[in-house]
């Protein structure tokens, strides 16, 4: 029972960390894109975001199929978290708008694929069928709590330290999520 609780806690915390990185970016996405490329209109911003979400569908399906075949669902989740962290790191260090936009596409694709794959694993790891509603409710708190927390952190960081520092912090959160998932036993 202790092992199952440890798995649930680590998987929950990994989702929270990934949601925190996504919520913070969402809070400042429009302003970051405007600072990155002042000529970029709203339609182009929306197209960039929509492209990332569309790519995430294919990524989630491919990774989900791979994890089913190989029995390694948490490795697929860790991989998406690592790609998200890399995307955020490149966003922080990007020297050109084109590089930053490609890195953002990588982040959005990986983050959305992570969330889709993670939702599929939640039911699998909740130990008691009689309390799965409570378990799912607790997991879903990772969807709302970050939206309350991260805008304040972004407001605190961005004016004084810029977007790059925020993206570095978010990359560390995504990396921590990946490490948590990689620490799970293969048969979890």
**Domains plus CATH for the chain?**
2-182 (1.20.1250.20)
Residue 172's pLDDT is: 96
The answer to whether the CB of 46 falls within 8 A of the CB of 108 is no
pLDDT single digits (tens) 40-76: 898 998 999 999 999 999 999 999 999 999 988 899 9
pTM: 0.91
pLDDT at position 2 over 80: no
Between 109 and 185, residue with greater pLDDT: 109
Residue 77's pLDDT is: 95
Rank 25-39, 136-150, 172-186 by mean pLDDT and report only the highest: 172-186
């Amino acid at each position: 029972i202790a092992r199952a609780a440890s798995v649930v806690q680590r998987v929950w915390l990994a989702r929270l960390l990934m949601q925190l990185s996504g919520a913070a970016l969402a809070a400042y996405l429009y302003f970051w894109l405007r600072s990155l490329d002042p000529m970029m209109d709203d339609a182009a911003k929306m197209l960039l975001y929509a492209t990332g979400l569309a790519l995430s569908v294919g990524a989630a399906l491919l990774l989900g199929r791979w994890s089913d075949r190989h029995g390694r669902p948490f490795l697929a989740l860790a991989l998406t978290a690592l790609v998200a962290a890399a995307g955020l790191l490149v966003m922080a260090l990007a020297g050109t708008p084109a590089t930053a936009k490609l890195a953002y596409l990588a982040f959005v694709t990986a983050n959305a694929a992570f969330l889709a794959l993670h939702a599929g694993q939640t039911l699998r790891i909740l130990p008691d069928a009689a309390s799965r509603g409570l378990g799912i409710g607790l997991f879903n708190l990772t969807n709302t709590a970050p939206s309350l927390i991260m805008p304040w952190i972004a407001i605190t960081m961005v004016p004084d330290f810029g977007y790059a520092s925020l993206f570095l912090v978010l990359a560390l959160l995504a990396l921590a999520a990946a490490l948590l998932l990689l620490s799970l036993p293969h048969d979890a």
